[in-house]
């Protein structure tokens, strides 16, 4: 605690008028009110804040401390939304089965990470249900793209030590659909869990859907906003293609400089797909995003 009575804390979830925070000298989360000044600062997960205690069971966020990095996205209406602060890694959790594996979801999140210059880290779960062959095929695909990929089985401890090592110096957000095993990963890492979900009004509700924080050496891992928050900014198909790193070089050999790689003649990207040089699933993801999300 500083001389002025303020304590530093990490924000792990935010409502309109309150935030779940974990003080540097504590392990349990607290629900903190937001002063008007702090509210105007748009407190987000990952923020470091100064808090003070105003009653035995009440703390308040007095100010948002300077940020090292801000993760933002643009909405379809062109507004900028701040999603997280002080993070450098996006941990993408995907179950190999149950729920079914959606490679397009993985590809969209990897592209999002590339766009925002944060490191993607792919975590594959439920290998015990899918089998080693299925896990190896997916892992090989993304490792070839320089996306670090771990196959995890938190129940047996498989991959958890390696994940802890990977995250020890990282500031990471974890994102994934419901049912993919995020909570199990947090428990295996010894992270803080089972805190209340925040409603839009900022009131805490004690539920099993919770904000979570795991401290890992100098790094941390926090739960993320909903997966729908990680949508790509509207952009031309040519810019979208740049976010799929294996499309970059073939794109320079297309007949037309503004080739969208969809149906244009002389497209070197589609030729590379036909030749097996680009994974068909990756091109399918690019095509789906180009037809639905790009400008």
pLDDT in tens, the chain (295 residues): 554 568 999 998 887 788 888 888 887 788 899 887 666 568 888 999 999 987 777 899 999 999 988 888 776 677 788 888 999 999 999 999 999 999 999 999 999 999 999 999 999 999 999 999 999 999 999 999 999 999 999 889 999 999 999 999 899 999 998 889 888 898 888 876 544 444 444 444 433 345 678 888 888 898 876 777 788 888 899 999 999 999 999 999 999 999 999 999 999 999 999 999 999 999 999 999 999 865 5
Domain residue spans in the chain? 7-64, 70-229, 237-292
DSSP 19-88: EEEEETT-SS-EEEEE-HHHHHT---TT-EEEEEEEETTEEEEEEEPPPS-EEEEE-TTS-EEEEEES--
What value does the CA radius of gyration of the chain take, rounded to a whole number of Å? 21
CB 195 within 8 A of CB 183: no
The CATH architecture one would assign to domain 7-64 is Beta Barrel (2.40)
124/135 Cα distance (integer angstroms): 7
Output phi, psi for 188, to 5 deg: -65, -30
Question: Which of 66-92 are b and which e, b meaning 16 or more Cβ less than 10 Å from the residue's Cβ?
Answer: ebeebbebeeeeeeeebbbbbbbbbbb
The CATH architecture one would assign to domain 237-292 is Orthogonal Bundle (1.10)
User: Exposed/middle/buried for 238, CB within 10 Å: 0-12, 13-18, 19+?
Assistant: middle
Q: What is the pLDDT of residue 243?
A: 97
92/108 Cα distance (integer angstroms): 10
Among the four given CATH numbers 3.40.50.300, 1.10.645.10, 3.50.50.60, 2.40.50.220, the one describing domain 70-229? 3.40.50.300
CB 118 within 8 A of CB 89: yes
Q: What is the pLDDT of residue 200?
A: 42
Pair of tokens at residue 45 = 């997960």
Q: What is the pLDDT of residue 136?
A: 97
Cβ contacts of 140 within 8 Å, gap of 6 or more: none
Cβ neighbours of 100 (radius 10 Å): 8
Whose CA is closest to 289, among 257, 244, 245? 244
Q: What is the pLDDT of residue 120?
A: 97
Pair of tokens at residue 253 = 């050999």
């Amino acid at each position: 605690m500083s001389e002025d009575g303020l304590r530093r804390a990490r924000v792990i979830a935010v409502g309109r008028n309150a935030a779940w925070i974990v003080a540097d000298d504590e392990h349990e989360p607290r629900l903190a009110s937001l002063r008007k000044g702090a509210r105007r600062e748009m407190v987000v997960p990952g923020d470091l804040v100064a808090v003070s205690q105003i009653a035995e069971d009440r703390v308040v966020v007095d100010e948002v401390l300077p940020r090292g990095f801000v993760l933002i996205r643009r909405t379809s209406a062109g507004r900028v939304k701040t999603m997280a602060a002080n993070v450098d890694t996006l941990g993408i959790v995907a179950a190999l089965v149950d729920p079914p594996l959606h490679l397009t979801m993985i590809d969209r999140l990897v592209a999002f990470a590339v766009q925002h210059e944060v490191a993607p880290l792919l975590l594959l779960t439920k290998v015990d249900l899918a089998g080693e062959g299925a896990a190896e095929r997916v892992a090989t695909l993304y490792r070839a793209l320089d996306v670090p990929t771990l196959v995890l089985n938190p129940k047996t401890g498989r991959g958890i030590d390696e994940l802890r090592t990977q995250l020890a110096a990282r500031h990471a957000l974890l994102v994934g659909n419901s049912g993919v095993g995020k909570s199990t990963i947090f428990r295996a890492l010894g992270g803080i869990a089972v805190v209340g979900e925040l409603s839009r009004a900022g009131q805490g509700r004690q539920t099993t859907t919770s904000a979570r924080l795991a401290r890992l050496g100098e790094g941390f891992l926090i739960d993320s906003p909903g997966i729908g928050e990680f949508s790509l900014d509207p952009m031309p198909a040519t810019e979208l293609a740049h976010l799929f790193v294996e499309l970059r070089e073939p794109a320079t050999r297309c007949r037309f400089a503004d080739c969208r790689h969809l149906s244009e003649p002389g497209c070197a990207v589609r030729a590379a797909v036909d030749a097996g040089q680009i994974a068909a699933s990756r091109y399918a993801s690019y095509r789906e995003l180009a037809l639905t999300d790009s400008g």
